[in-house]
Amino acid sequence: MAQLRAYVVLDRMEMETEAVYGVLPRVRMVFKNCGATPSRKGRMRYGFDVFGAPEDVPGVDGLQARSLPDLAPGQESFDEFVLDRQDWAKWKEPMKSGALALYAYGRIEYETAFEDGGHSTNFRLLFSSVGRQFPDGRFFACPDGNDSD
């Protein structure tokens, strides 16, 4: 049975498809409070990098952090940014060939309205050309690395 509290998740993540064809990619991350109470004091630690397999993705310690706004139940918020030019230059060809895949990974930390010590949601998403050829710019959840307390 679910607790009466906030549950903040990375609801979806997209990358502009034209980024694949030479323009620097713009990534949009959409966060949502799926719980029944407000979330407060949110922070997200995240990273982007290319790896050969999901098990190669490192933990979240030392990753850059961003603040998240307080979210009412059902409310969404988004963060949008452009990937680093040098990173994209070295990632693009191995991704096109299928040798490597782009992973977005991190942790969302937040408090509930009840100040119960805080909660977290871990995420690991994959953006790969293998079998998809970048059809619509969506990231897909990996089988492991996605959980919430």
Q: What confidence tens digit (pLDDT) does each residue in 97-138 have? A: 778 888 889 999 999 987 777 999 999 988 865 554 444 567
List average pLDDT for each run of 10 residues in the chain, which is 149 residues long: 82 72 77 94 90 85 89 94 83 80 91 84 81 61 85
Determine contact, residues 18/88, Cβ cutoff 8 Å.
Answer: no
